[in-house]
Amino acid sequence: MKIVIATDSFKGSLTSFKAADAIGKGFLKVLPKTEIVKIPMSDGGEGTVKCLIEATEGKYFKEYVSNPLGKRIEAEYGILGDGETAVIEMASTSGILLIPKEKQNPLYTTTFGTGELIRKVLQRGYKKIILGLGGSTTTDGGAGALQALGVKLLDSKGKNIKPGGLYLKELDKIDISRIDKNVKNTELILMCDVNNPLLGHQGAARVYSSQKGASPSEVKLLERNLLHFAKIIKRDLGKDISNIPGSGAAGGLGAGLSSIFNTEFKSGIEVAIEITELSRRMEETDLVITGEGELNFQTLYGKVPFGVAELAKKKNIPVIIFVGNIKKDTEKLYTNYFDKIISLTSSKILKEEAMKNAFLIFSSKAEEVAKLYKEGVLFET
């Protein structure tokens, strides 16, 4: 038999590669002659570079850039096997895992490092960039990235505003006279796992900034500041960035970048499915296994498991999903897509233990599932 394992990463515990290894190990203990095809996936967050580079036999590179609080770090990016397309994940430069929880605050975190990495890629001569927008700790509308690319965001005294969402309110004028000359000739594809616009009740500040450390009053402040930022961009650059679907991802990073680049917002999982050739590799497959950290209402809106399951269902292949945790009252939403839902956490295994011993628990759970599958009763239990 043939099994395709195409999971997302399990944030804080396992990469998509490690998760696929653990699941494969468990199945092979029970079904040793099974052909296991591992296709680690990503929808734009952590692991995007490795997913796409490994799938196309591309190459990795590293550069020193700024983290969300300005500290110098080494960030990795890649070039696809075509030798022409660069892949960057903003999680590696402006991501929430890069700074301790007590220092996370979108009033002060910046996307400057992401802009630095884009600029270094442009200087190497690449004219096409895929940028993953997941896993951010910022809500600066991409202002920091614009500054790193040579855009001057000036206050009323003609000085560059400080980094972070707090200081967007001080923006008085935008000067692009010294913008990186390669920007206008570059195609920028933005991988999104959400369709939220920059502003409004479903926007970057109101939906996501509280997860990044903002208080209720700070959420309102960030919304006002992003609105001001969008108005100045429209006045000075002639671009309306306020309601573009997907522009609310990564704290509005894509919104800001779309004011200067030739951008295209795309579903992150659709990009990954295309580049990894997942459809072709699912041919003559008996079972598809996917997974993510938490099964919740957002899974149906462009997350890895939904994209994988939707494709498998078109091919009439049963789908199992492994999840770290199931959000209360959401399991019933997914019966049309997943034939079996396996949670690592339970009344006996708490979240902390599951994250700490994820590989072993994954492997053990997969072995249990494989036994039920072999006996022909998995989808009856």
CB 225 within 8 A of CB 166: yes
- Provide the token pair at 120: 């270094």
- Kindly state the helix (H) or strand (E) to which residue 35 belongs, with its residue range: strand 35-38
CB 199 within 8 A of CB 224: no
Q: Average pLDDT of 157-174? A: 98
> Residue 90's closest CA among 129, 128, 56, 59?
129
Same domain, 236 and 107: yes
pLDDT exceeds 90 at position 13: no
- 272-288 tens-digit pLDDT: 999 999 999 999 999 99
Q: Which residue has the higher pLDDT, 377 or 296?
A: 377
Same domain, 253 and 331: no
**pLDDT number for residue 328:** 78
In a domain, 281, yes or no: no
pLDDT exceeds 90 at position 350: no
Q: Average pLDDT of 241-253? A: 95
CA 208 to chain centre: 14
Q: What is the CATH number of the domain that holds 300?
A: 3.40.50.10350
pLDDT exceeds 80 at position 331: no
In a domain, 175, yes or no: yes
Same domain, 260 and 357: no
Q: Average pLDDT of 139-167? A: 98
In a domain, 324, yes or no: yes
Q: Final residue of a domain: which of 241, 269, 297?
A: 269
**pLDDT number for residue 373:** 94
CA 54 to chain centre: 17
In a domain, 13, yes or no: yes
Same domain, 202 and 350: no
Structural domain of 163: 48-269
Band of residue 347 on the pLDDT scale cut at 50, 70, 90: low
Band of residue 123 on the pLDDT scale cut at 50, 70, 90: very high
Number of domains in the chain: 2
CA–CA separation, 114 and 94 (whole Å)? 6
CA–CA separation, 87 and 126 (whole Å)? 10
pLDDT exceeds 90 at position 193: no
Same domain, 32 and 55: no
Same domain, 175 and 315: no
CB 62 within 8 A of CB 106: no
In a domain, 101, yes or no: yes
Residues 6+ away with beta carbon under 8 Å from 378? 320, 340, 369, 372
**pLDDT number for residue 351:** 66
Q: Average pLDDT of 224-233? A: 98
In a domain, 185, yes or no: yes
In sequence order, the β-bridge partners of residue 2 are 35
Alpha-helical (H) ranges within 110-248 are 112-123, 143-148, 204-208, 216-237
3-state secondary structure of 321: strand
pLDDT exceeds 80 at position 6: yes
Band of residue 381 on the pLDDT scale cut at 50, 70, 90: low
Same domain, 34 and 64: no
- Global confidence as pTM: 0.92
Same domain, 326 and 244: no
Band of residue 184 on the pLDDT scale cut at 50, 70, 90: very high
**pLDDT number for residue 312:** 96
Same domain, 33 and 53: no
Alpha-helical (H) ranges within the chain are 16-30, 48-56, 91-94, 112-123, 143-148, 204-208, 216-237, 253-257, 268-276, 278-281, 304-314, 351-356, 358-375
> Residue 249's closest CA among 167, 136, 164?
136
In a domain, 301, yes or no: yes
Q: Average pLDDT of 341-350? A: 74
The one-letter amino acid code at 20 reads A
Q: What is the chain's percent helix, strand, coil content, to nearest 5?
A: 40, 20, 40
Q: Please, what is the average pLDDT of the chain?
A: 93
**pLDDT number for residue 375:** 93
- 33-79 tens-digit pLDDT: 999 999 999 999 889 999 999 999 999 999 999 999 999 999 999 99
pLDDT exceeds 70 at position 119: yes
Same domain, 175 and 240: yes
Same domain, 236 and 301: no
In a domain, 55, yes or no: yes
Band of residue 248 on the pLDDT scale cut at 50, 70, 90: very high
CA–CA separation, 379 and 364 (whole Å)? 18
Residues 6+ away with beta carbon under 8 Å from 285? 2, 3, 4, 37, 312, 315, 317
Same domain, 258 and 302: no
